[in-house]
Chain A
Amino acid sequence: MREWRSGELGVLLLALTIAVASLTGVGFLVNRIGAAVDLQATEVLAADVRLGSPQPISQVPLDEAARRGVRATRSTRLLSVVFQGDQSQLTNIHAVSPGYPLRGHVLVANAPFVKGEVAAGIPPSGEVWPDSRLLAATGGKVGSMLAIGAATFRVSHVLISLPDQGGTFADLAPSLLMNMQDLPATQLIQPGSRVSYSVLFAGDRGRIDDFKSWLLLNKKPAERLRDIRDASPQIKSATERAGRFLSLASLVSVLLCAIAVAMSARRYVHRRLDVVALMKTLGATSGFTLSVSLLQLLAIACVAAIAGSGVGFLAQEWLLRALRGLFNTELPPANLLPLVLGFMTAIALLVGFALPSLLQLARVPAMRVLRRDVGPAPMLVLLAFGPAVAVIAFLIWWVVRDAKLFLDFSSGLAGFVTLLAGAGWLLVHLAGRLRGSVGVAWRYGVANLSRRRAESVLQIVAFGTGIMVLLLLSIVRNHVQDSWRHSLPEDLPNYFFINIPPTEREAFVDFLKARGAQTSRVLPMIRGRLTAINDRPIEGAQSAGDGENFAAREQNLTWESELGADNSVVEGRWWTRADFGKPLVSLATEFQDSLHVRVGDRLTFDIAGESVTATVGSIRKVKWDSFQPNFFIVFAPGVIDNTAGTYMTSAYFRPAGASSLAQLARRFPSVSIFDIDDLLARVRSVVDKAVLAVQSVFVFTVFAGLTVLLAAVQSSRDERRFESAMLRTLGASRSVVLQGVLAEFTVLGLLSGLLASVGASIAGYFVATRVLELPYGFDPSVWAWGLMGGALLVVLSGWLATRSVVNQPPLTTLRANA
């Protein structure tokens, strides 16, 4: 245990703990979010598996489910008119049975347009829960009576949200929840009625999977099966991608810690060489010395794994608190997989970065006791660096699990490090040049910096990285978002209105204008599906995963005679009067990007059962943040004009209050109203939280940088002790010696801060101008924070680490060195 006092093992343990904490912190978080997403995604169907049919579904699947221990309930949906007195409204009626919803929650309240609470069960027989829009349309409230078909019902609650609401644009009508027992009384279901029957199933994954296999074999042809796992692949893949990104971010800390491990190990071995040589003369074998060291390392790995996982867990809890509001649900508890990862990381780091040095220990010749300059034979470069590279590669692969991403990240990291190292080296060199013009303490400090060049560069890179990323993220978080907001004009449309009936088009616009709104152009919206490109059916198209999803969905089509001011043609040409009636279509650049179509290609659409083929006449770049109505796919006039559809528009509208909106909803019951401000606020909040999450991960990187500093200071501790004694002998007072030390660290910190500020500014410039197309001005706060932060951080830590060195009286050290 004497070895602990020299501190190398302590730094080793610290480095390992931080590395483990960094990886497991992210690991726990990602693990829990993934589980939550899986759970939440199950809400979309209100079940794990949903069987749907236009015909009533027999009792057979329900019986089978019961037999297998799978929960089941029925649900029926139909579109019908609901009356309150003379007022009527077309409504999506959801008739449900006890047990609904099997996944997710129904939210209700006692007034419309307020925050809801989880409902207990389903509406009792004789009661209904209409949603806010429906109440506004019919002029009812809680306690009113609504007539549905031949029956009347009392409104006992307002429905705020349903888990299986359906798509957003697809909703033609408001919703109402009622008890399935009451359906016969309404006499709504007649032969020829368009009704959607469903049975919902939920249970343990294993049982559900078995049951699903049974269903696939035994279902009727008209019946359609939907599994939750297919329902939200996009959310899941986005979450996975985010998780991987966060893990990669934490890897940066791990890599820095690895360097600290290597430095400490080397120092530890260096100190032990003499002792081990002596033990060999006393008869100890190489194997013995090696095994002793290995056992010590194993013990350290265990402690680091446990401590690190503990810290990681706490970090994750803290992070969750900060991210509250991003998730609607409580995240499920994590499983123990991250712990395993933590332990593996500790072992891997030791194997890769400490073991090669340790092997040297086993190879020191006993001869060393006689001739001190005899050391172990130099290692093959392969043996020295091979394990390290292998471990790094392994860790990156473990996180990424994707060959392309692995290559991208590795090469990106290598390039980044090289660039930083080059910049760091340059800075140290320049600082060295300046030393003629400063006082003795500063000159001494800078001289030391230049002499320990490799270490200085290493530390500048280590700190620079952490501080730079933090700076860049705060630039993104604050500056960029504000810049975007300010670049938008004041009277930008803040509402979108969808599903305006064709007959009400004029009236709607008049209604808005009468209330002081500034309306935009009104465009028709027609539903259609892309079925073929150049006569090749879509299922066979060779497009990226995203493109497939994109094309297979129902598209919103429109036709327009004039090119909007916020559109610019980048390929082909817009149509003239002469082209009206020709089957021409214009695509937005995003649509072109995902499907790789060109001007001249022929696209075939299925619009309300009819096949329409059009040629791509132009590609437009759309300025979406004008918030004017814009479509990916625009037809020339005269092609699909007569197809039934609705209209949509946007407007700048500052309603006097909720009642104005209710008036609008009552007057035009089928119109869907989207509040843009609300949506943007939500988006901003999400982005904010995401950036905060990444920033938190990179805080570990700063800690890792500190550990590297600690390891470096430790390596030079003996030297520093000697030199400070030397200076004191020559007549320097304690404060002069201290100044020298502080000078060295201040310059180191300033250089790190400089590197970080430059890097963050450049990166910020690129992100703002190239990626987000926003102006980016010089931001002095970035530089101030970078330089000051770097200097303060390094000086404080460096001083703490070398304090004891400065205070030693000169004699003891000089003697010891003589």
Chain B
Amino acid sequence: MTIVDDVSLDIAAGESVAVVGASGAGKSTLLALLAGLDTPTSGKIWLAGADLTALDEDGRARLRAQRVGFVFQAFHLVPALTALENVMLPLELAGRGDARSAAIEALERVGLGRRIGHYPRQLSGGEQQRVALARAFVTAPAVLFADEPTGNLDTVTGERVGALLFELNAQTRTTLVLVTHEDKLAARCQHTLHMDAGRLL
């Protein structure tokens, strides 16, 4: 079964791109391929100057640690760690020595400076996603991949988180690849890619 078929695209540094389409169109798969979480059956992918398809699993992990940030629909924070420890994770995995101070700063930027010692279960949905945003941006990644970041939030919170996302993006000038079915969010991106049945329209 072909999920993504004959896709060819270029995304320049600093651009923000929205990938939209009906459910089952292959958006999340495309995102996964671009982020190096999955390998294409045929073809090549370059991410931040590196040939993803030529790297092995650990190599792609290293690349992700240094150049990529993620925001997920289901937040995906590590339940055993506090907000601070969650944000510190990608920094520590990349071997940064100033993980703690950088993480505190990032949490303050998303307005959670007073909640750094709380566990995910003690935070609301919106707060958890803000922690996730802090975690995603703290490494100043070259590329940020966001998969339905407001999908699990109510409209009001979703708008706030969405605004925060673009605000942070503007500050750091990260390349943003955003999968969403919300038109309002897609509209804030510079470009929009439409997908249908695995193909780009």
Question: Do they bind each other?
Answer: yes
In the complex, A726→B79 CA distance in Å? 11
Q: B65: which of A450, A451, A730, A735 is its contact (CB, 8 Å)? A: A730
Using an 8 Å CB-CB cutoff, how does the interface string of B49-89 with A read, 1 for contact, 0 for none? 00000000110011111101010111010111100010011
In the complex, A444→B86 CA distance in Å? 10
Using an 8 Å CB-CB cutoff, how does the interface string of A734-768 with B read, 1 for contact, 0 for none? 11100000000000000000000000000000000
> Does B92 reach chain A (CB closer than 8 Å)?
yes
Instruction: Give every chain B residue within 8 A of A478 (Cβ-Cβ).
Output: none
In the complex, A809→B63 CA distance in Å? 16
Instruction: Give every chain A residue within 8 A of B68 (Cβ-Cβ).
Output: 731
The answer to whether B90 touches A730 (Cβ under 8 A) is yes
Instruction: Give every chain B residue within 8 A of A448 (Cβ-Cβ).
Output: 80
The answer to whether A440 touches B80 (Cβ under 8 A) is no
Instruction: Give every chain B residue within 8 A of A814 (Cβ-Cβ).
Output: 37, 72, 76
Instruction: Give every chain A residue within 8 A of B81 (Cβ-Cβ).
Output: 444, 447
Instruction: Give every chain A residue within 8 A of B74 (Cβ-Cβ).
Output: 817-818
> Does B25 reach chain A (CB closer than 8 Å)?
no
> Does B38 reach chain A (CB closer than 8 Å)?
yes
Nearest-CB residue, chain A, relative to B79:
A451
> Does A728 reach chain B (CB closer than 8 Å)?
yes
In the complex, A447→B89 CA distance in Å? 13
The answer to whether B89 touches A730 (Cβ under 8 A) is yes
Q: A733: which of B62, B89, B92 is its contact (CB, 8 Å)? A: B62
In the complex, A440→B100 CA distance in Å? 12
Enumerate A386-443 residues with CB–CB distance to B below 8 Å. Answer: 439-440, 443
In the complex, A771→B70 CA distance in Å? 65
Instruction: Give every chain B residue within 8 A of A731 (Cβ-Cβ).
Output: 61-66, 68, 90, 93-94
> Does A723 reach chain B (CB closer than 8 Å)?
yes
* Interface range for A: 20 to 34
The listed residue with most A CB atoms (<10 A of its CB), out of B57, B73, B78, B135, is: B78
> Does B32 reach chain A (CB closer than 8 Å)?
yes
The answer to whether B76 touches A726 (Cβ under 8 A) is yes
> Does A118 reach chain B (CB closer than 8 Å)?
no
Q: Chain B's nearest CB lies how many Å from the CB of A193? A: 92
Enumerate B74-123 residues with CB–CB distance to A below 8 Å. Answer: 74, 76, 78-81, 85, 88-90, 92-94
In the complex, A727→B90 CA distance in Å? 9
> Does A643 reach chain B (CB closer than 8 Å)?
no
> Does A275 reach chain B (CB closer than 8 Å)?
no
Instruction: Give every chain B residue within 8 A of A815 (Cβ-Cβ).
Output: 28
> Does A732 reach chain B (CB closer than 8 Å)?
yes
Instruction: Give every chain B residue within 8 A of A735 (Cβ-Cβ).
Output: 58
Instruction: Give every chain A residue within 8 A of B65 (Cβ-Cβ).
Output: 730-732
Q: Chain B's nearest CB lies how many Å from the CB of A468? A: 28
In the complex, A204→B37 CA distance in Å? 80
**Chain B residues bordering chain A, tally (CB within 8 A):** 31
Nearest-CB residue, chain B, relative to A736:
B93
> Does A729 reach chain B (CB closer than 8 Å)?
yes
The answer to whether B64 touches A726 (Cβ under 8 A) is no
The listed residue with most B CB atoms (<10 A of its CB), out of A809, A810, A817, is: A810
Q: B93: which of A440, A719, A734, A818 is its contact (CB, 8 Å)? A: A440
In the complex, A295→B78 CA distance in Å? 40
CB-CB under 8 A for A726 and B38, given A731-B94, A734-B58, A809-B57 = no
Q: B70: which of A444, A730, A817 is its contact (CB, 8 Å)? A: A730
Q: Chain B's nearest CB lies how many Å from the CB of A810? A: 6
Instruction: Give every chain A residue within 8 A of B38 (Cβ-Cβ).
Output: 811
The answer to whether B37 touches A818 (Cβ under 8 A) is no
Using an 8 Å CB-CB cutoff, how does the interface string of B2-45 with A read, 1 for contact, 0 for none? 00000000000000000000000000100010000110000000
In the complex, A447→B73 CA distance in Å? 24
Instruction: Give every chain A residue within 8 A of B61 (Cβ-Cβ).
Output: 728, 731-734
Instruction: Give every chain A residue within 8 A of B85 (Cβ-Cβ).
Output: 443, 447
The answer to whether B37 touches A733 (Cβ under 8 A) is no
Instruction: Give every chain A residue within 8 A of B73 (Cβ-Cβ).
Output: 818
Q: B80: which of A450, A729, A734, A809 is its contact (CB, 8 Å)? A: A450
Nearest-CB residue, chain A, relative to B37:
A811
In the complex, A727→B43 CA distance in Å? 27
Instruction: Give every chain A residue within 8 A of B92 (Cβ-Cβ).
Output: 439-440
Q: Chain B's nearest CB lies how many Å from the CB of A252? A: 31
The listed residue with most B CB atoms (<10 A of its CB), out of A448, A727, A732, is: A732
Q: Chain B's nearest CB lies how many Å from the CB of A606? A: 79
Enumerate A786-818 residues with CB–CB distance to B below 8 Å. Answer: 809-811, 814-815, 817-818
Using an 8 Å CB-CB cutoff, how does the interface string of A523-565 with B read, 1 for contact, 0 for none? 0000000000000000000000000000000000000000000
Interface residues of B (CB under 8 A from A): 28, 32, 37-38, 57-58, 61-66, 68, 70, 72-74, 76, 78-81, 85, 88-90, 92-94, 135, 147
Q: List 10 A-B contacts (CB under 8 A).
A: A443-B85, A451-B79, A726-B76, A726-B78, A728-B57, A729-B70, A729-B76, A730-B89, A814-B37, A818-B73
Besides A729-B64, A731-B62, A734-B57, 7 other A-B contacts (C-beta < 8 A): A723-B78, A730-B65, A731-B90, A810-B37, A811-B37, A817-B74, A818-B73
Interface residues of A (CB under 8 A from B): 439-440, 443-444, 447-448, 450-451, 719, 723, 726-736, 809-811, 814-815, 817-818
Task: In the A-B complex, list the 3 residue pairs whose CB atoms are closest, starting with the nearest.
Answer: A731-B65, A440-B92, A451-B80
